[in-house]
Amino acid sequence: MKRRHFIRAAGLGLAATIAKPAIAQSTPELKWRCASSFPKSLDVLYGAAEVFAKAVAEATNNSFQIQVFAAGELVPGLQALDAARNGTVEMCHSASYYYVAKDPTFAFGTAVPFGLNARMQNAWNMFGGGMELMNEFYRRYGVYAIPCGNTGCQMGGWFRREVKEPADFNGLKFRIGGYSGRVLQKLGCVPQQIAGSDIHAALEKGAIDAAQWVGPYDDERLALAKVAPYYHYPAWWDGGAVLHNFINLAKWDALTPTYQSVVRSASETANAWMLAKYDAGNPAALKRLVAAGTKLVPFPPAVMDACLTAALELYREIASTNANFKKAWDSTLAFRNDQYLWWQVAEYTNDTYLIRNRTRV
């Protein structure tokens, strides 16, 4: 063999020897468990975690596998964050505002009353400092969070009696999650934290008077129209509800940069998938519900005004004693107000014109 050929062959062999261990180090064999806060019957909320896990597996040639468990299979749905935090599972897929009892700042991870819509949430998280701000907060609880789903604007819920004025909330036992329940308490409401799979039974038995879940696609699956006739809108507390992958902080820090990048990309895939799935499914579901007798009713302006007043009052109260909450609210409010300067010029004008003329042919 000529000398130059020998050197070239030796070089290729050395490259192969170096490359294989390097690749192996960046894509080690991993198997994680993900606890979902949702039952399998809610195929979009639960399904987003499966979309995420599938994307991770495909991007790593199955070297990184994540098994998703429905609510109750490993831990109850509302204890998913604790399971990720204490290492019972490596991660969970859940809604941040389920955990406001720990600190009301958790609400900003999902949605807050009169806050951001879905597109604004994505913009705030990606370019408005939202992810950095919230992960600084989540670090105190031993997790790292990445947005992984958005429901879009939700419906205001199912009621046995029509809400005609603010006083109708007085004494009302209402299944409503997170921080928004504290707002409605100021109007005399009695908020109830109940997992999605238990809402129908609670309404049917009269344990609650009203319940809010997500929107037509999911609410139809839960058969809520059969136990409450009035379907109010909008959910001023859920203008664009974000779900997150909450990853045990030590497990996240131990991931290779390659795997961290894969997890971020797969989360973004599931984030877009969920919003598109709801946008595609809600119109037909709403038509079916109304055709079957559902009474579709907007919250009256007086009710919306009373709720806004109560919300702003509560923001001021909590912000005066909770620095983390104040930081998140100040950031959200400033971002929302600037966003609407733009939306009222183009988005809102375009949408309202087409809404008025949608039936023209």
260-288 average pLDDT score: 98
CATH number of 337's domain? 3.40.190.10
In a domain, 358, yes or no: no
pTM of the model: 0.91
CATH number of 108's domain? 3.40.190.170
62-77 average pLDDT score: 97
Structure tokens at 240: 């664009």
Res. 197: pLDDT tops 90? no
In a domain, 352, yes or no: no
Regarding whether 169 and 121 lie in a shared domain, the answer is: no
* Residue 261 parent element (H or E): helix 257-291
Q: With bands split at pLDDT 50, 70 and 90, how would you rate the model's confidence at 25?
A: low
pLDDT tens digit string along 116-144?
A: 999 999 999 999 999 999 999 999 999 99
DSSP helix/strand/coil, 40? coil
Name the phi and psi angles at 206, rounded to 5: 80, 10
β-pairing verdict for 143-150 and 91-94: unpaired
Q: With bands split at pLDDT 50, 70 and 90, how would you rate the model's confidence at 257?
A: very high
Regarding whether 244 and 180 lie in a shared domain, the answer is: no
Regarding whether 191 and 124 lie in a shared domain, the answer is: no
Res. 165: pLDDT tops 60? yes
334-361 average pLDDT score: 94
Structure tokens at 124: 């705030």
Regarding whether 147 and 166 lie in a shared domain, the answer is: no
β-strand partners of 281: none
In a domain, 186, yes or no: yes
Contacts of 263 (CB under 8 A, 6+ apart): 56, 146, 245, 247, 255
Regarding whether 147 and 75 lie in a shared domain, the answer is: yes
Give the start-end residues of each E strand in 86-215: 91-94, 143-150, 157-159, 173-175, 190-192, 210-211
By C-alpha distance, which of 214, 265, 210 is closest to 240? Answer: 214
Contacts of 29 (CB under 8 A, 6+ apart): 63, 64
pLDDT tens digit string along 94-114?
A: 999 999 999 999 999 999 999
- Domain containing 106 equals 28-152+240-280
Res. 264: pLDDT tops 50? yes
Regarding whether 197 and 125 lie in a shared domain, the answer is: no
Share of the chain above pLDDT 70, in %: 93
Going across the sheet that includes 157-159, the strands are: 190-192, 173-175, 210-211, 157-159, 230-233, 295-298
